[in-house]
């Protein structure tokens, strides 16, 4: 890992923004699916996000990435945005929410594996143990929250989303060194939106009959989890390693449970709280860095000097 990469306060701030917005996406997707197809939801979400990025590029006068990086960015956009969102949306129509939450929590482990293969990032035993401990905590939180967990063939779509997300996070990392982070993120959104266009072809007709609340859910998905969330996430990814940043995805299910407790009055159990604590311990352990050994002063023998 580059020695200049560090998980500082600003990176943690960006991660917090991304997780708060992303944690709201699952409920918004389920709400929007009442009036729109999974493909229409994915296209609308990415199209709104792309429009926001286009405005940001014009206002801040941010240049697009170098032309030599366009093919790679287009491929990353299709994999990490088109494939991810289509698979996740279709899966949410068939599998239990608890199943999706647990499987999506495999993103940190998948990102760490892709980082080790692609970027040759060294993963310590402490990091691997921390990722495993945090996953155990997430499973406890999901089970204690009362969400149904039932594994079935459609769950394979979520696993495909996990792999697509890991490739997207890791693949962008080297491109940040020679391109603007905003430009890189915007370009992938443009490519991802084009990839979902065939699935969202009938969105205009669906908008005419959909209630305003479901349209508002699409707007929320495009602005908050997509535009704000991905922008904040990539800002953190530019400052720290992919495996470090992705480990915080483990906090998404506990955050969603807390939102349900505050907003919907859902009950918190002792097992939920214990699972949350275990998740925190695992993430801290995964991001702990071994302190360098103190330098041992060299004592010169005065007798030999004389």
Q: Do residues 91 and 155 touch, judged by C-beta distance below 8 A?
A: yes
Residue with the larger pLDDT of the pair 157 and 142: 157
Which of 2-16, 25-39, 193-207, 263-277 has the highest average model confidence (pLDDT)?
193-207
Nearest Cα to Cα of residue 278 among 140, 145, 100: 140
pTM, two decimals, is: 0.82
Average pLDDT score over residue span 210-218: 95
Residue with the larger pLDDT of the pair 203 and 299: 203
Residue 301 has pLDDT above 80, yes or no: no
What is the chain's alpha carbon radius of gyration, rounded to the nearest angstrom? 21
Which of 6-10, 17-21, 73-77, 144-148 has the highest average model confidence (pLDDT)?
73-77
* pLDDT, tens digit, 9 for 90 and up, residues 225-274: 999 999 999 999 998 888 888 888 888 777 777 766 775 566 667 777 78
The end-to-end CA distance of the chain, in Å, is 46
Residue 287 has pLDDT above 80, yes or no: no
* pLDDT, tens digit, 9 for 90 and up, residues 31-81: 899 999 999 999 999 999 999 999 999 999 999 999 999 999 999 999 999
Nearest Cα to Cα of residue 14 among 235, 284, 227, 245: 235
Percent of the chain with pLDDT over 70: 80
Task: Give residue 175's pLDDT.
Answer: 95
Residue 1 has pLDDT above 50, yes or no: no
Task: Give residue 255's pLDDT.
Answer: 76
Among the listed ranges 54-58, 111-115, 164-168, 277-281, which one has the minimum average pLDDT value?
Answer: 277-281
Average pLDDT score over residue span 208-223: 95
Task: Give residue 290's pLDDT.
Answer: 53
């Amino acid at each position: 890992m580059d020695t200049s990469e560090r998980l500082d306060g600003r990176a943690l701030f960006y991660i917090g923004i991304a997780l708060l917005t992303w944690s709201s996406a699952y409920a918004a997707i389920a709400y929007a699916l009442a009036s729109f197809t999974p493909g229409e939801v994915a296209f609308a979400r990415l199209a709104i996000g792309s429009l926001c990025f286009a405005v940001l590029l014009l206002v801040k006068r941010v240049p697009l990435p170098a032309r030599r990086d366009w093919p790679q960015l287009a491929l990353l956009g299709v994999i990490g945005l088109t494939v991810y969102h289509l698979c996740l949306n279709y899966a949410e129509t068939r599998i239990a929410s608890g199943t999706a939450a647990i499987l999506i929590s495999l993103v940190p482990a998948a990102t760490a594996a892709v980082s080790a293969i692609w970027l040759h990032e060294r993963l310590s035993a402490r990091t691997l143990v921390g990722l495993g401990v945090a996953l155990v905590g997430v499973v406890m939180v999901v089970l204690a929250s009362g969400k149904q967990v039932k594994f079935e063939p459609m769950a394979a779509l979520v696993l495909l989303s996990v792999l697509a997300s890991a490739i997207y996070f890791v693949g962008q990392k080297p491109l940040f060194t020679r391109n603007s982070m905003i430009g890189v993120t915007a370009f992938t959104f443009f490519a991802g939106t084009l990839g979902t266009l065939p699935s969202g072809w009938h969105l205009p007709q669906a908008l005419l009959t959909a209630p305003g609340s479901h349209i508002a859910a699409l707007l929320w998905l495009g602005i908050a989890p997509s535009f704000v969330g991905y922008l904040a996430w990539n800002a953190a990814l530019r400052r720290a390693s992919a495996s470090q940043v992705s480990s915080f995805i483990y906090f998404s299910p506990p955050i969603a449970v807390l939102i349900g407790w505050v907003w919907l009055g859902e009950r918190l159990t002792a097992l939920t709280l214990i699972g949350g604590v275990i998740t925190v311990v695992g993430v801290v352990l995964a991001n702990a860095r071994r302190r360098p050994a103190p330098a041992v002063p060299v004592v010169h023998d005065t007798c030999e000097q004389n």
